[in-house]
């Protein structure tokens, strides 16, 4: 694969036989002190977060805050329009009929939270990200089918092509590939 | 299929969720191929048919805009007709999707993985059909944007006390959330298709929409939580939506509408009709697309059980209505319900009862519960019944407080064409989906294979 | 010179001069004729979507379309643009004259109300009087003189007539005949006399299909003189109406209603109330008001009266004829007769017996004798000798026909009327007219008669022409134009003057000329002006005369078998058939709009196995009519009733082919009823536009009533109100305590269900006519409707009526459901509907428990010809497609009054604001005002112990309250079912 | 699949995100300004059939508005003067002016002059001049400095929102009734106090509810 000149190395990619192997490999890599590595699998692997030593996702907080904002905005909008901006007597009911406003408030809370969750997820995952080093690897694409990959990226402080390749082999990687590209 | 058909298992033993010795690879292949292979004749024919029906809808709407709502059978007292019936009907259909994808997800019902994708899709399409109606049924469509709180030179704001306004918010929010839920679930599968893609076009399109997904666990981590949150908030949402729709009737003072039981009763009904629709589609598509291994009889049976339950809830609601009408001591209420059962619209009422209460009872019997033919017919009958339920409710208008204003509502050609057309729209969208989008959530199904468990000693 | 300072009538003529107007006229007069409003979708244009683009103008940021302001060149001081003017004039109808006050905007008459000073209208109107306004703008009116169908000018006719005039002057009028309508006009009768002077040998026949001839004949029979009876129902405690719908279709119904309700109004429990006995073949407005009603077919009313007379006589009140006529005592409704005779005997001098125009002279003679014997003459009934009466005469018509047959008539001038349509069928007039060399027809439309005449002359509307008319008590009033003729029309006065004098005379001068001797030379001008201003000429009519009785020979042929009776319809004799307001107006009893039907009793229906809308064939010795049947409770079992004036062939686009022509069965020997009718059921059904499908209240306390006696015991009413928890709101209710608080009170005891309010509302509020198909679909637009419920025994029902319009609930269910706040409350408690904010979800209508909201399913207003749009009230927004509308309590009147008051630095006084329905109501059943002011009439009515709110238990807090209905049955006749009538309802 | 999308594509999301936000703001601003009656209507200055100058008549000559627009204090409409009114003076003054040809013709022929409407409310809104005049709202408040206009121009949006502003707090626009036609009126120092007085005495409570203007 490594052919053209002045290519740069993006990462070292190792394929593992099963979810289990990948999980154990991940623990080792973590213990070896690598930071910029990732495990690619067709589906989320149970326990992998601990194995890789990842902290809890922040999506929840984002969603929560957005939800609260949505709700607050809704209640404010309804209250302000019907009591301050243009008070109209409707069916002889109080201008601020908060009971009636609950539904829209609830709705916008949900909407806020949902948008927060999705956008938060995308941002935290840096998606969309159509270009990525790993895509230089021909075999990498099997991650979405039935393969399990471990990739240690070049900009990891402890990164060294040969040492990393060796290390991944030692962890039982079926194939180890140095991903290069323009 | 053969396997599943005969699978008998002792109580407590969880039969395999999918059959046919599937591996990760076989799953991506079988599901992927559906979208990759050459367009089949059957599909083209079906699409043609559905498409032309959708055009009927378009035509009807065009004529409606030109002439006014008078082309429908509406009158005073029955100022709402089929438009609203269809709206409620379609919104109801939508519910099953979210229920399966969200509620069952929260309950860790892993069997949902096989059906959640197209249940969700069906939700989207149903809600699209639903959203058509509030838009077109108003007298002055060109001003319909006034229901949104937009600053304007009149200094006017919408009236947030109106259930109709709640509808607009609830349903459009429901649609947005379902769309996001659906798409988020779709990303990894699009990536799978992307990676299987050969042609440049497919590479580009699928690449574009899969956002460059790399299935890295750092992504899965956020992804899973986001998905969980969406599921978590979709659950109260889906329950609220039809409750809100029911307030269109429940908050009014019209006998037969003014009923506190409506919210739960509507939700139950919605799930009921929704599952019926999923069933209809599932039965057809698993046959046509050879998905018997993924949508097994066990799945269908489970859905039938849910239909049986919700069907009886609805039946309970019907009887409860009658009891309350009598117990309330309000002569208007009691008249309204006696009138439903024995008045000019009795025929509609009894169609409703037969289809919604009697028909599901067949699912008490295991053999019928597992018989494709039975469940297919039943699911269609149930949808008919649920449409009539909404019809019966809406035409309670025909006889309210002052007998002097009583009248009878007769649908016109345009009422019918609009309803038929909406089905056209629905199936058009569904066929497009079935052709171009993975019908089954591959990454999720892979996730429920035994091999997916890292502690599974299984072979590579 | 009057014409001089009424220049401004020309304002509309100016408009009429513009090309657009011509263009409209052309466009609005295609020969192919379709119903104006309603189902002719073909004629609907893209204007609706244009409306859309206009509505969006703000968005598309395009400049508004350029609008022109066209000021007057010289503004007449009478006119302030936008400020209405009011003129008094008179509407002649048959022998009646209704004094009216016409509201004009920029010279366009837009509303008609009664003239309080006028004895025949007393400030109120009937549906016909109100609706006559629309006829003025009827685009189907003929627009030019026609000679053998070709358009010519008046001058040609005048020239032609001059020749004839000279010719006939020689011959003394040999072979010249005039067929006119009957009239009661000094000027016209003066001209008629002059005509006879000029042409002694000429024949002048006055004839009307619907006339009071029998009444006058009867009085002549009894007294030997032709006298005009004038009734004052306010002076009668006991009233017997014999086949006499004196509150509805009979002459002078307005004045009758005013008087009748005056004697019936109950202010407190101590008040007395008159008692009404009705004997009639089919349910009428009067029958609905009855305290006791016997359904007797038209042929047997006489013998019932005879029986009554005998009993009364036996009880010591000798009635002249009672012994005279030698006929067996009939057993008809004997207990009724017994009780009634007692009641009459007890109320000598304060009772009244009236018979309807359909009854034969003998019955009227008997009634007359009875009133004399009971001492009512000079009290509840007075007789007047009206000089200028020109009565309709069936015999004269027959004579004329005979003359024509033996070619004794060369020139026949038909001045008004439509004999070809309405004349008795045994004298087939249309063929007879062929025989006459020259036939001239003066008529507002090119109608059936015009088509078979050589000359057609367009006739001016009474709002366009000068004339005069005497009311029934002889009071003289002038018909003065409020607008120049829109078409080429000329009035009767012009024609008569031309006929009599051979030259054209200004009608105005002719009328003044008549007035001179009446008013006297001295101070004529001021009297004349006063007369014009007040709408009634100074100096009253001839004093009442007390005729001596000289009973002639009475013959009372008792009819038997199935009897068909002809009724006068809401179109009178059919002359108003092209009036959309009247066509769309539901019949007060059957609630049928756009057509008539053969009314049959439930029993008869059973007998012949008939349902509503079944086509039947009526056969009277060979003459047949196919017509749908309609079951009308209260119909006499042996009687079928059909309304006259329907099934016009050449009425115009609105009236053509609506209903079925009963004149086809009418012959000179059975002008009002025919015996021996054969009824046959035909196969098909025919859809009738009925605005109320369901006639029972289902035992709900909607219209509540009690007997006077019961009420005096205890102020409770039936059906009893529904038990409900105290109406408490979950929220703090809005306080309506400042400023004006508008409210309405409707006295169900006064309301007769005559429909005057419905038409008035339609005129005032620009309510569209939607046409038969839409009414069949339940889409009628009337803001005010009159609900009619049957109670008690279906074969002898009590009928309850209830005007129903927006109740202006303080906690209006309609408001909270509108997503765009298009309907909300204003501080004065009005439930306001903002048309331009409405997007048309129709949710409010669904949630209205009274179902008083109306929706524009189509763009009904664009349907209307421009000419009719001129009738519209500029103070009220014209609604467009897709918009909800409803009664506003005439908010335009409220606003104008408030502004006026404020400008004058005062507050609105009680009674200053009268809603259109209130202004029209002859029964004064509707009172509107400020309920915030404890002294206002409406506030006081709200204290009345008969008041109740409809659907009170819903806690909608309507601003409209109703006063429960009372009946005053004779204790001796009370059936248990009647009084405590809960069970009876439904 | 190897690398399909070039590296720069990774910037697209960021760019579109920022662009989207800015674009949205731009669109809102655009609609806000350009679709508002302030923009679409204010400044409407059609060429009238007769070159009539309010500046000359109302301004320089100081004719009172009500000389031509009669009845404003009595009725809803402010009359557009009949040709007669013009001729009252112009039979003497400028009898042969070119500009006045049309007026003279109109007067002679009886054919009215077709002025082009500048201040135009929709049919469903009912404005009453007398009510406003008697409350002491100056002509200028709605019609602008007519006395400075050669050709009459629409100087206020006459939109519902605009009406409401004044109906909600009319104080600034109130003045003694005698001064309503005064184009040079300045609110005196004690304006506030006097306004309070008028409101008290004349019960000035401009309607906010729909029924105030819609019938």
Instruction: Summarize pLDDT for C19-74 with one digit per residue, the tens.
Output: 444 444 333 333 322 333 333 332 222 222 222 223 333 333 333 456 667 777 77
Q: Does residue C682 sit at the D interface (CB-CB below 8 Å)?
A: no
Provide the token pair at C628: 């749908």
Across the interface, do D1 and A141 touch by the CB < 8 Å criterion? yes
A90: nearest CA in chain C?
A: C824
Confidence of residue A6 (pLDDT cuts 50, 70, 90): low
Pairing state between β C476-479 and C639-643: unpaired
Tell me if A130 and D2 make a contact (CB, 8 A cut-off): no
Is the domain of C190 the same as that of C202?
Answer: yes
Closest CA to C763 of C894, C856, C587, C892: C892
Interface test with C, best of D211, D212, D213 (most C CBs within 10 A): D211
- Find chain D residues with C-beta within 8 A of A127's C-beta: 13
Give the tens place of pLDDT for each residue, C963-986: 999 999 999 887 654 444 443 333
Nearest CA in chain D to B156: D161
| Ramachandran angles phi, psi of B210, nearest 5° | -85, 5
CA distance C823 to chain B (A): 10
What value does the mean pLDDT take over residues A112-121? 96
Alpha-carbon dihedral C322, C323, C328, C333, rounded to 10 degrees: 30
Q: Dihedrals φ, ψ of B41, to 5°?
A: -65, -45
Percent of chain B with pLDDT over 90: 77
In the sheet where C150-152 sits, what is the strand order?
A: C150-152, C145-147, C455-458, C438-443, C411-415, C176-180, C203-206
Q: Total domain count for chain C?
A: 4
The CA-to-CA distance between both ends of chain C, in Å, stands at 63
For residue C474, the model assigns a pLDDT of: 86
Query: What sign results for the dihedral spanned by CA atoms B72, B77, B82, B83?
Result: positive
| Domain annotation covers residue C52 | no
How many whole angstroms separate alpha carbon C293 and alpha carbon C797? 9
Interface contact D12, partner A, CB < 8 A: yes
Give the residue, C313 or C865, on which the prediction is more confident: C313
- Asked whether residue C396 is assigned to any structural domain, the reply reads yes
The reply to whether omega before C555 is within 30° of 0 (cis) is no
At C747-804, the pLDDT tens digits run: 999 999 999 999 999 999 999 999 999 999 999 999 999 999 999 988 899 999 999 9
Q: Is residue C332 domain-shared with residue C413, that is, in the same domain?
A: no
Closest-CA residue to D124 (of C24, C51, C164, B258)? C51
Confidence of residue A151 (pLDDT cuts 50, 70, 90): very high
- For residue A95 the two structure tokens come to 């201008």
CB contact under 8 A, D75 and C80: yes
Examine residue B152 and state whether it is found in any structural domain, yes or no: yes
Asked whether residue B30 is domain-assigned, the answer is no
Q: Tell me whether residue C295 is in a domain.
A: yes
Which segments in chain D show pLDDT lower than 50?
A: 1
Check: complex ipTM more than 0.85: yes
Structural tokens at position C952: 């009170």
Pairing of β C965-967 and β C705-707: parallel
Q: What is the mean pLDDT of residues C200-212?
A: 94
Question: ∠ at Cα C609 (C606, C612), nearest 5°?
Answer: 90
Cis bond before residue A128 (omega within 30° of 0): yes
The domain in which residue C595 lies consists of 563-690
Cα C343–chain centre separation? 32
| Share above pLDDT 70 across residues of chain C, in percent, rounded to a whole number | 89
Same domain? For C759 and C675 the reply is no
Residue C218 lies in a domain: yes
For residues B307 and B272, the answer to whether their CB atoms sit within 8 Å is yes
Sign of CA dihedral A132, A138, A144, A149: negative
The string of DSSP letters for C605-667 reads HHHHT--TTEEEEEEETTEEEEEEEEE-TT--TTEEEEESS-SBSSS-TTTBT-S--GGGG-B
Q: Which pLDDT does position B6 carry in this prediction?
A: 37
Counting as contact any 3 or more CB pairs under 8 A, the partners of A are: B, C, D
Burial profile A7-45: b = 16 or more Cβ within 10 angstroms, e = fewer: eebbbbbbbbebbbbbbebbbbbbeeebeebbbbbbbbb
Distances from the Cα of C77 to the Cαs of B32, C72, C80, D70, in angstroms?
Answer: 88, 11, 7, 11
In this prediction, what percent of chain C has a pLDDT beyond 90? 71
C458 found inside a domain: yes
| DSSP code for D42 | T
DSSP state letters, B98-124: HIIIIIHHHTT-GGGGGTHHHHHHHHH
CB–CB of C598/C629 below 8 Å?
yes
Instruction: State the Cα torsion B187-B193-B195-B198 to the nearest 10°.
Output: -140
pLDDT tens for B142-185 read: 999 999 999 988 899 999 999 999 999 999 999 999 999 999 99
Q: What is the mean pLDDT of chain B?
A: 91
Our CA-based measurement puts residue B35 at a distance from the nearest CA of chain A, in whole angstroms, of: 16
Beta strands in C467-597 (DSSP E): 467-470, 476-479, 544-545, 563-567, 592-593
Check CB contact under 8 Å for A42 and B24: yes
Which residues lie closer than 8 Å to D59 by C-beta, 6 or more apart? D147, D148, D183
CA dist D99 and D101 (Å) reads: 6
Q: Among C933, C729, C730, which residue's Cα sits nearest to residue C828?
A: C933
Residue B290 belongs to a domain:
yes
Answer yes or no: is C126 within a domain.
no
Helix, coil or strand: residue C92: strand
Residue C303: predicted pLDDT: 86
C705 lies in the same domain as C755: yes
Give the CATH number, domain containing residue C630: 2.40.40.20
Contact B266, B92 (CB under 8 A): yes
- Whether the CB of C811 is below 8 Å from some CB of chain A: the reply is yes
Angle at C388 between CA C382 and CA C392, to 5 degrees: 90
Residue C4 has a CB neighbour count (10 Å cut-off) of 6
Residue C205 maps to which CATH number?
Answer: 3.40.50.740
Domain harbouring C874, CATH code = 3.30.70.20
User: Partners of C69 in the beta sheet?
Assistant: D115
| B202: nearest Cα among B220, B186, B190, B213 | B190
How many Cβ pairs within 8 Å bridge chains A and D?
Answer: 32
Average of pLDDT values for B69-75?
94
Taking CB atoms and an 8 Å limit, are A89 and C824 in contact across chains?
yes
How large is the angle between the packed helices B217-250 and A98-124, nearest 10 degrees?
A: 160
Count of alpha carbons within 13 angstroms of residue A49, beta-carbon side: 13
- Residue B275 inside a domain? The answer is yes
Residue C113 pLDDT level (bands cut at 50, 70, 90): very high
C357, C385, C413 - which closes a domain: C385
Position C14 scores a pLDDT of: 35
pLDDT at residue C612 greater than cutoff 90? yes
Architecture field, domain A4-55+132-181: 2-Layer Sandwich (3.30)
CA distance C309 to C320: 9
Same domain assignment for residues C779 and C923: yes
Q: Where are the alpha helices (DSSP H) in chain A?
A: 19-31, 48-52, 59-79, 98-124, 161-170
Our CA-based measurement puts residue D211 at a distance from the nearest CA of chain A, in whole angstroms, of: 12
Mutate to test the interface with B, among A70, A115, A145 (most CBs of B within 10 A): A145
The domain spans of chain A are: 4-55+132-181, 59-124
Which among C925, C909, C414, C395 has a CA at the least distance from the CA of C668?
C395
C-alpha span between B364 and A44 (Å, rounded): 38
Q: Do B180 and A45 touch (CB under 8 A)?
A: no
Give per-residue pLDDT as tens, A30-72.
Answer: 999 999 999 999 999 999 999 999 999 999 999 999 999 999 9
| Alpha-carbon distance values, C273 to B237, C256, C259 (Å) | 65, 16, 12
Are residues B154 and D159, on separate chains, in Cβ contact within 8 Å? yes
A-chain residues within 8 Å CB-CB of D11? none
Optimal mutation site among B140, B146, B155, B201, interface D, most CBs of chain D within 10 A:
B155
Neighbours of C943 (CB within 10 A): 8
Neighbouring-strand partners of residue C293: C278
Residue D174 DSSP code: B
Task: Please tell me the distance in Å from A86's CA to the nearest CA on chain D.
Answer: 9
B19 occurs within a structural domain: no
C76 pLDDT band, cuts 50/70/90, is low
Residue of A nearest to B243 (CA): A103
Contacts of B150 in chain D (CB under 8 A): none
Q: Quick one: closest CA in D to A89, which residue? A: D209
**Between D36 and C127, residue with greater pLDDT:** C127
Q: How far is B218 from chain D (nearest CA, A)?
A: 18
Which of A1-5, C76-80, D81-85, D170-174 reaches the highest mean pLDDT?
A: D170-174
**Cα distance between residue B333 and residue C953, in whole Å:** 13
Rounded Cα–Cα distance for residues A18 and C943 (Å): 90
* Residue D137 β-bridge partners: D174
Task: Look at residues C335, C369, C385 and tell me which one is the last residue of a structural domain.
Answer: C385
Tell me the nearest-neighbour CA distance from C77 into chain D, angstroms: 11
Residue of A nearest to C824 (CA): A90
CA neighbor of B440 nearest in space, from B103, B186, B128, B125: B186
The answer to whether residue C757 sits within a structural domain is yes
- What is the average pLDDT across A100-118? 96
Closest partner residue to B160 among A78, A113, A120, by Cβ?
Answer: A78
User: In the predicted model, what is the mean pLDDT of residues C144-151?
Assistant: 93
Other beta carbons less than 10 A from residue B144's beta carbon: 20
What number of C-beta contacts closer than 8 Å exist between C and D? 134
Average pLDDT for C506-525: 89
CB interface of C with A, residues 716-775, below 8 Å:
729, 731-734
Q: Please report the pLDDT score of residue B104 as a whole number.
A: 86
**Does the pLDDT at position C77 exceed 80?**
no
Q: How many CB atoms lie within 10 A of CB B356?
A: 28
B205 pLDDT higher than 80: yes
d(CA C938, CA A118): 63
Distance in angstroms (rounded) separating the CA atoms of residues A41 and C139: 83
Q: Do residue C499 and residue C612 come from a single domain?
A: no
Enumerate the residues of chain C whose CB falls inside 8 A of the CB of residue A90: 815-816, 821, 824-825
Q: In this complex, which of C733, C821, C826 lies closest to A92 when CB atoms are compared?
A: C733
User: What pLDDT is recorded for position C79?
Assistant: 65
Inform me whether the pLDDT recorded for C742 exceeds 80: yes
Same domain? For C152 and C228 the reply is no
- Other Cβ atoms closer than 10 A to D190: 9
**Which site among A61, A76, A117 would you substitute to test the B interface, given the most B Cβ atoms closer than 10 Å to its Cβ?**
A117
Q: Which domain holds residue B280?
A: 38-458
- Using CB atoms, which residue from C70, C899, C905 is nearest to D128? C899
């Amino acid at each position: 694969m490594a052919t053209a000149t002045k290519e740069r190395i993006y990462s070292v990619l190792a394929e593992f036989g099963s979810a289990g192997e990948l999980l154990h490999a991940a623990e080792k890599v973590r213990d070896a002190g690598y930071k910029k590595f990732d495990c690619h699998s067709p589906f989320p692997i149970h326990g992998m977060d601990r194995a890789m030593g990842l902290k809890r996702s922040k999506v929840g907080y984002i969603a929560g805050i957005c939800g609260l904002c949505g709700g607050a905005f809704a209640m404010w909008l309804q209250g302000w329009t019907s009591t301050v901006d243009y008070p109209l007597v409707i069916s002889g009911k109080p201008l601020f009929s908060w009971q009636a406003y609950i539904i829209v408030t609830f709705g916008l809370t949900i909407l806020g939270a949902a948008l927060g969750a999705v956008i938060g997820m995308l941002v935290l995952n840096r998606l969309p990200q159509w270009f990525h080093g790993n895509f230089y690897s021909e075999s990498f694409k099997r991650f979405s089918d039935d393969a399990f990959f471990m990739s240690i990226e070049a900009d990891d402080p402890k990164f060294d092509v040969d040492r990393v390749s060796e290390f991944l082999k030692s962890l039982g990687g079926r194939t180890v590939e140095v991903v290069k590209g323009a | 299929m053969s396997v599943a058909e005969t699978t008998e298992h002792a109580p407590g033993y969880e039969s395999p969720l999918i059959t046919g010795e599937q591996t990760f690879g076989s799953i991506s292949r079988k599901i992927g191929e559906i979208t990759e292979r050459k367009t089949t004749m059957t599909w083209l024919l079906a699409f043609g048919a559905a498409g032309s029906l959708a055009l009927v809808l378009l035509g009807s709407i065009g004529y409606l805009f030109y002439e006014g709502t008078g082309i429908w059978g509406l009158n005073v007292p029955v100022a709402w007709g089929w438009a609203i019936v269809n709206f409620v009907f379609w919104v109801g259909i939508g519910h099953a999707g979210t229920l399966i994808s969200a509620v069952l997800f929260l309950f860790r019902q892993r069997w949902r993985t096989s059906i959640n994708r197209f249940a969700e899709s069906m939700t989207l399409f149903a809600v699209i059909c639903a959203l058509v109606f509030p838009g077109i049924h108003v007298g002055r469509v060109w001003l319909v944007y006034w229901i949104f709180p937009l600053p304007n030179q009149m200094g006017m704001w919408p009236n947030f006390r109106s259930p109709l306004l709640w509808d607009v918010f609830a349903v459009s929010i429901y649609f947005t959330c379902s769309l996001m839920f659906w798409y988020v679930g779709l990303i990894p599968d699009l990536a799978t298709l992307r990676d299987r893609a050969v042609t440049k076009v497919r590479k580009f399109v699928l690449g574009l929409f899969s956002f460059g997904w790399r299935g890295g666990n750092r992504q899965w981590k956020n992804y899973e939580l986001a998905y969980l949150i969406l599921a978590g908030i979709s659950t109260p949402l889906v329950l609220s939506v039809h409750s809100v729709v029911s307030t269109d009737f429940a908050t009014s003072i019209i006998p037969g509408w003014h009923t506190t039981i409506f919210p739960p009763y509507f939700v139950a009904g919605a799930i009921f009709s929704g599952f019926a629709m999923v069933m209809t589609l599932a039965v057809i598509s698993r046959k046509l697309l050879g998905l018997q291994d993924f949508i097994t009889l066990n799945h269908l049976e489970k859905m039938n059980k849910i239909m049986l339950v919700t069907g009886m809830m609805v039946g309970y609601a019907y009887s409860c209505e009658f009891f309350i009408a009598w117990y309330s001591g309000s002569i208007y209420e009691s008249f309204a319900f006696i009138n439903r059962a024995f008045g000019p619209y009795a025929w509609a009422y009894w169609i409703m009862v037969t289809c919604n209460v009697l028909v599901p009872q067949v699912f008490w019997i295991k053999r019928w519960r597992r018989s494709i033919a039975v469940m297919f017919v039943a699911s269609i009958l149930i949808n008919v019944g649920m449409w009539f339920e909404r019809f019966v409710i809406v035409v309670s208008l025909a006889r309210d407080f002052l007998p002097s204003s009583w009248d009878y509502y007769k649908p016109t050609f345009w009422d019918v064409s609009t309803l038929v057309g909406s089905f056209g729209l629905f199936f058009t969208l569904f066929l497009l989906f079935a052709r171009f989008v993975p019908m089954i959530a591959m990454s999720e199904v892979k996730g429920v294979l035994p091999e997916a468990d890292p502690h599974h000693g299984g072979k590579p | 010179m009057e014409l001089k300072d009424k220049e401004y009538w020309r304002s509309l003529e100016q408009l009429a001069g513009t090309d657009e107007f011509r263009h409209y006229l052309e466009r609005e007069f295609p020969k192919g004729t379709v119903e104006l409003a309603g189902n002719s979708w073909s004629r609907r244009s893209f204007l609706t979507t244009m409306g859309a683009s206009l509505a969006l103008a703000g968005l598309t940021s395009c400049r508004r379309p350029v609008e022109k302001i066209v000021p007057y060149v010289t503004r007449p001081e009478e006119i302030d643009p936008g400020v209405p003017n009011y003129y008094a004039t008179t509407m002649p109808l048959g022998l009646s004259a209704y004094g009216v006050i016409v509201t004009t905007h920029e010279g366009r008459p837009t509303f008609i109300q009664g003239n309080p000073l006028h004895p025949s209208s007393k400030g109120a109107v009937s549906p016909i009087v109100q609706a006559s306004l629309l006829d003025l703008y009827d685009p189907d009116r003929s627009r030019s003189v026609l000679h053998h169908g070709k358009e010519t000018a008046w001058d040609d006719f005048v020239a032609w007539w001059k020749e004839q005039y000279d010719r006939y002057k020689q011959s003394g009028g040999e072979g010249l005949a005039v067929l006119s309508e009957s009239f009661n006009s000094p000027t016209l009768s003066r001209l008629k006399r002059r005509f006879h002077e000029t042409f002694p040998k000429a024949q002048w026949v006055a004839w009307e299909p619907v006339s009071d001839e029998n009444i006058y004949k009867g009085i002549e029979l009894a007294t030997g003189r032709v006298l005009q009876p004038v009734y004052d129902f306010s002076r009668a405690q006991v009233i017997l109406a014999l086949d006499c719908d004196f509150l509805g279709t009979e002459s002078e119904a307005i004045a009758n209603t005013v008087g009748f309700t005056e004697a019936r109004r109950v202010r407190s429990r101590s008040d007395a109330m008159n008692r009404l006995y009705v004997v009639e073949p089919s349910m009428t407005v009067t029958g609905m008001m009855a305290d006791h009603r016997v359904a007797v077919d038209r042929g047997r009313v006489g013998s019932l009266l005879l029986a009554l007379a005998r009993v009364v006589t036996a009880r010591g009140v000798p009635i002249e004829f009672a012994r005279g006529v030698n006929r067996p005592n009939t057993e008809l409704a004997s207990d009724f007769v017994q009780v009634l005779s007692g009641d009459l005997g007890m109320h000598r001098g304060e009772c009244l017996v009236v018979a309807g125009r359909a009854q034969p002279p003998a019955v009227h003679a008997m009634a007359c004798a009875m009133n004399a014997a009971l001492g009512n003459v000079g009290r509840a009934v007075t007789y007047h000798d009206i000089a200028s009466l020109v009565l309709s005469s069936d015999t004269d018509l027959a004579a004329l026909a005979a003359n024509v047959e033996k070619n004794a008539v060369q020139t026949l001038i038909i001045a008004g009327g439509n004999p070809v349509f309405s004349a008795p069928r045994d004298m087939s007039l249309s063929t007879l007219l062929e025989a006459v060399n020259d036939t001239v027809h003066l008529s507002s439309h090119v109608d059936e008669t015009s088509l078979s005449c050589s000359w057609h002359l367009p006739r001016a509307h009474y709002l366009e022409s000068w004339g005069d008319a005497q009311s029934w008590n002889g009071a003289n009033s002038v018909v003065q134009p409020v607008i120049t003729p829109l078409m080429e029309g000329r009035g009767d006065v012009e024609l008569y003057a031309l006929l009599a004098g051979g030259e054209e005379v200004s009608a105005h001068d002719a009328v003044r000329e008549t007035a001179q001797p009446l008013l006297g030379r001295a101070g004529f001008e001021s009297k004349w002006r006063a007369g014009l201003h007040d709408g009634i000429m100074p100096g009253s009519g001839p004093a009442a005369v007390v005729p001596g009785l000289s009973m002639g020979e009475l013959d009372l042929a008792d009819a038997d078998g199935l009897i068909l009776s002809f009724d006068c319809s809401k179109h009178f004799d059919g002359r108003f058939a092209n009036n959309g307001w009247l066509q769309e107006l539901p019949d007060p009893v059957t609630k049928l709009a756009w057509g008539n039907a053969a009314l049959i009793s439930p029993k008869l229906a059973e007998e012949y196995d008939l349902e509503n809308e079944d086509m039947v064939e009526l056969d009277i010795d060979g003459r047949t009519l196919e017509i749908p049947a309609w079951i009308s409770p209260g119909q006499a079992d042996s009687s079928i009733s059909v309304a006259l004036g329907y099934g016009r062939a050449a009425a115009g686009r609105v009236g053509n082919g609506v209903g079925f022509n009963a004149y086809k069965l009418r012959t000179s020997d059975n002008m009002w009823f025919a015996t021996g009718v054969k009824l046959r059921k035909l196969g098909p059904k025919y859809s009738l536009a009925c605005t109320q499908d369901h006639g029972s209240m289902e035992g709900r306390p909607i219209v509540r009533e009690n007997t006077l006696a019961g009420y005096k015991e205890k102020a409770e009413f039936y059906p009893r109100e529904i038990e409900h928890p105290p109406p408490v709101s979950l929220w703090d209710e809005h306080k309506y305590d400042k400023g004006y608080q508008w409210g309405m009170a409707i006295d169900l005891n006064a309301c007769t269900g005559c429909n005057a309010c419905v038409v008035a509302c339609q005129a005032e509020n620009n309510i569209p006519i939607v046409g038969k198909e839409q009414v069949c679909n339940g889409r009628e637009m009337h803001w005010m409707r009159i609900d009619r419920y049957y109670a008690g025994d279906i074969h002898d029902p009590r009928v309850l009526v209830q005007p129903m319009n927006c109740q202006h609930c303080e906690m209006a269910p309609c408001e909270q459901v509108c997503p765009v706040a298009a309907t909300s409350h204003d501080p004065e408690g009005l439930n306001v509907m903002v048309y331009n904010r409405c997007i048309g979800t129709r949710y409010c209508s669904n949630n209205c428990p009274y179902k008083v909201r109306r929706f524009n399913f189509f763009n009904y207003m664009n349907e209307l010809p421009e000419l009719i749009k001129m009738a519209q009230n500029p103070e009220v927004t014209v609604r467009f497609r897709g918009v909800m509308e409803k009664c506003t309590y005439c908010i335009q009147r409220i606003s104008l009054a408030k502004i006026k008051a404020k400008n004058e630095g005062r507050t609105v006084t009680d009674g200053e604001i009268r809603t259109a329905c209130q202004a029209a109501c002859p029964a004064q059943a509707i009172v509107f005002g400020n309920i915030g002011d404890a002294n206002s009439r409406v506030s006081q009515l709200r204290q009345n112990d008969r008041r109740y709110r409809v659907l009170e238990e819903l806690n909608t807090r309507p601003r409209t309250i109703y006063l429960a209905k009372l009946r005053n049955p004779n204790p001796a006749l009370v059936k248990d079912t009647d009084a405590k009538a809960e069970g009876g309802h439904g | 699949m190897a690398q399909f999308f070039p590296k720069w594509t990774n910037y697209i999301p960021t760019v579109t995100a920022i662009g989207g936000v800015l674009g949205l703001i731009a669109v809102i601003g655009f609609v806000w300004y350009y679709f508002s009656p302030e923009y679409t209507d204010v400044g409407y200055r059609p060429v009238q059939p007769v070159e009539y100058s309010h500046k000359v008549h109302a301004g320089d000559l100081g004719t009172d508005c009500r000389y031509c627009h009669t009845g404003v204090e009595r009725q809803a409409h402010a009359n557009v003067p009949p040709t007669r009114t013009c001729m009252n003076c112009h039979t003497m003054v400028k009898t042969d002016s070119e500009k006045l040809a049309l007026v003279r013709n109109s007067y002679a022929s009886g054919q009215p002059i077709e002025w082009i409407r500048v201040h135009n409310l929709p049919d469903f809104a009912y404005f009453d001049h007398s009510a406003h005049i008697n409350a002491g709202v100056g002509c200028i408040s709605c019609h602008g400095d007519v006395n400075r206009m050669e050709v009459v121009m629409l100087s206020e949006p006459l939109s519902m929102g605009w009406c409401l502003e004044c109906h909600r707090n009319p104080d600034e626009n109130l003045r003694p009734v005698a001064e309503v036609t005064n184009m040079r009126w300045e609110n005196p120092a004690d304006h506030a106090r006097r306004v309070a007085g008028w409101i008290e005495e004349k019960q000035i409570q401009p309607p906010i509810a729909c029924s105030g203007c819609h019938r």
